[in-house]
Amino acid sequence: MSRWTRTIITALAIFVGLVFAAPCFAAGGNCPTASNYVNPANPTGPLVTLSSLGVASCYFVGGGGSDTNPGTSKSLPWLHAPGMPNCTGTCGSASISAGTGIILQGGMTYHVFASTSGATDVPMGGTWTWNHSGTGSSPVYVGVDPGWYTGSSFARPIITQDNPLSTNTVSSCAHADGEWFNGGSPTNVIYDGFDLQGVCDTGANGPGFAYGSNILERSYAHGWTLTATSGDDSYKQLAGDSTSGRALFDVVDGADSTYGANCTNFSSCGSGCGTYDTQCATGWAFSPCFDVEYSVIRHVSNGLECTDPRIVIGNLFEYIFEPSFGGRHGNVIESLGGSPGNTCEYIGNLTRYNNNGEIWDLDCATGFIFNNVWFQTGAGNGNLILQPPGSSDVPVLTQYFFANNTADASTQAYAYPGNGASAYWAPGSTIVIENQHMIGVSSVFGSSPWFSCHSPSSCTETDIGGEVIMSSSAATAAGYSASNNFAPTSSSSPTVGQGINMTSQCLTYSSDSELCSGTAGAVQVQVGWGGEVAFYPGIAMPNARGSSWDAGAFQYSASTSGQPLAPTGLTAAIQ
């Protein structure tokens, strides 16, 4: 199912629910009325109100509250949220039904293990477990009101596992291998706006925050440590599911975690971070996952390590290096088998400054890959691996379509030959390439190619045209560089106007014609909400391609040259 199809279904469900549903689903009070919330049906569009999402009544959780309060207003909030072990009284007996919102005050800190209490500190008594479902038209919302906070400005509420932060290993954990939040069992829930920190890992798998088939958005996971004797660094910060869970505008950044500060300038240290135990990064960002959009993933050893990561759009992947524990290879994205007949959409992602075993390892029956940028991705043992779905060494029919991507010589694609855990390309499988900007290679197919077909895979290779292929020195001379994400810098840049007009194919690539609608659109990381936020648009303003198409991921416009854009305000910075 394409992202656009899912968007239409979501929008129709919300509309029908609002027209025909009862006016109120729970006994909470009035919800915040400002337009401060992501619209899942149009995540990069204007922010919307909770009521427009089908959230009709709200409970409030904040400083100075009491669980015996009604919790229906900011003036009489609860101290805890339902599902926190220490929630009692009215909080513990509240009926949370479809259309209910739980609003946590910004600037508060919720302690999983410690008994710390104070004006802004609340002991939870253990892992926060959420078991209340919404409906498609009236979801349950668990999150924040950016207009309600303690302190001088809004900061996400912190959920901490109460271990001190460190960029080194630690000798032991005060509270080992815990879990912030378990919300994977219910359905139709939106989790929004949490600062997740303080994990101490001894080699366990986690996860830290389980969101299951629901939506996790605008949250920030960081500040984990590992013991020096950890057998693995596979603690999973965020865990969705393999069929429908969705992440929007999240940040997972290990820069303040064990080994995360050891390489923060790729040009000076990145080449030394491509082998096991080089102490450049630790931790896994997402596992499992299905749909990850407009998120920042950096300073980890594994980005997306998922059975079927089918929708991956607008993300920033950087400073992802080989693990320092466990002897396994790292990955930016690794699909663990996929699912039969799946269709994958990988659109508008920026993958840069990485050095690990595999950059992208995909398992797609049909893969549409466009508007992506890869550069300085290291010399791993895989790079961009294209496989059919499957978990055994058998031929499976597959087809991949590449259009308007930009890649330097560090990222090259190939059809995997299969092994005991993966399939290979069956006769009749195809790869179609069009409008690529390729730097440091000699050809699309053939001699010193960008794509290679490894036996026994059987590949029908089709180059429709519109490619711009240049040496690294020629690219530099023409102004394409890492500092501008290899975007064109002027109307006379060699990629401008050199692509083939693909307007007739845009609906084939995605049901929303996104190939026609714009240019590379990955987010960038910015400071905000008391930590880091995913700012969109990050690389450049999306520019509709019109009638004259450029080669590569960018469509040149005199007003936007591919440089990262500065945020214009808090709302823009988080959405």
124 neighbors 157 (Cβ within 8 angstroms): no
Say which residue, 520 or 389, is predicted with more confidence.
389
- Determine the 3-state secondary structure of 92 from DSSP: helix
pLDDT at 447: 81
For residue 12, what are its two tokens? 């129709």
What are the residue boundaries of the structural domains of the chain, listed by start? 103-543+551-574
Supply the pTM of this predicted model: 0.93
- pLDDT for 33 equals 98
One-letter amino acid identity for 298? Answer: R
pLDDT beyond 70 at 3:
no
Confidence label for 559 from pLDDT (cuts 50, 70 and 90): low
Model pLDDT for residues 314-332, shown as the tens digit of each residue: 999 999 999 988 778 889 9
% pLDDT > 90, the chain: 78
Give the residue-averaged pLDDT of 300-305. 96
Task: Work out the angle at residue 21's Cα, subtended by the Cα atoms of residues 15 and 27, and round it to the nearest 5 degrees.
Answer: 125
Pairing type for strands 524-528 and 531-535 reads: antiparallel
In tens, the pLDDT along 32-65 reads: 999 999 999 999 999 999 999 999 999 999 999 9
Query: Which of 103-112, 215-224, 230-239 comes out lowest in average pLDDT?
Result: 230-239
pLDDT number for residue 512 = 87
The model's pLDDT over 378-436, given as tens digits with 9 standing for 90+, comes to 754 458 999 999 988 999 999 999 999 999 988 889 998 888 888 999 999 999 999 99
Q: What are the beta bridge partners of residue 526?
A: 533
- What confidence score (pLDDT) does residue 570 get? 32
What is the separation of C-alpha 219 from the centre of its chain, rounded to a whole number of angstroms? Answer: 11
Burial 488-527 (b: 16+ CB within 10 A, else e): bbeeebbbbebbbebeebbeebbbbebbbbbbbbbbbbbe
- One-letter amino acid of 170: V
Separation between Cα atoms, residue 163 and residue 161, nearest integer Å: 6
As a whole number of Å, the end-to-end CA separation of the chain is: 24
Task: Give the residue, 145 or 377, on which the prediction is more confident.
Answer: 145
